Homo-oligomer: A and B are copies of this chain.
Amino acid sequence: MLNNSQYIEKLRSSGLRPTKQRIKICEVLFNTEKTFHFTINELVKKISKSTNDKISLATVYNTIHAFKNKGYLKEIPINSDQSYFDTNTSHHHHFYDESQRDLIDIDEADVEPVKIYTRIPGKKIKSVEVLVKVEDDKS
């Protein structure tokens, strides 16, 4: 929930030029009460609903990748024909309802911290992500 000048500052401070496309995308992504999940396709629709100046698809992809690299977005590891992103960059996990193709946050407090008793020599852990797949309970 920031205003434009704060997005401009945020972009500039991370070495991204605050273009009007990037500011608009910031608004769509971050000017919300709650965080949310999205695919590029859904984001494009959301953008076009909220502005008359269309943003090209390539720019959306570029911007999302830039934001992901800067840590403003997380990509959610999931088997899907398209990539899912999350505006919630805090440490948390997900339910995935494959039938509805619906992603739901699992609050960090609702998952016992995952302990891993083995390591890969020479590598350090970057992230630990839990994906809980659910299906309709017909019992």
Instruction: Report A's interface with B, CB cutoff 8 A.
Output: 75-79, 83, 95, 97-98, 104, 106-107, 109-112, 114-118, 120, 122-137, 139
Contact = CB atoms under 8 A, between A and B. Distances in A.
| Number of copies of this protein chain within its complex | 2
Indicate the member of A107, A123, A139 with the most B CB atoms within 10 Å.
A123
Indicate the member of A77, A78, A135 with the most B CB atoms within 10 Å.
A77
Dominant SS among interface residues on chain A: strand
A78 to B, nearest CB: 5
B77 A131 contact: yes
A87 to B, nearest CB: 16
A104 B77 CA distance: 16
Contacts of A131: 77, 128-129, 131
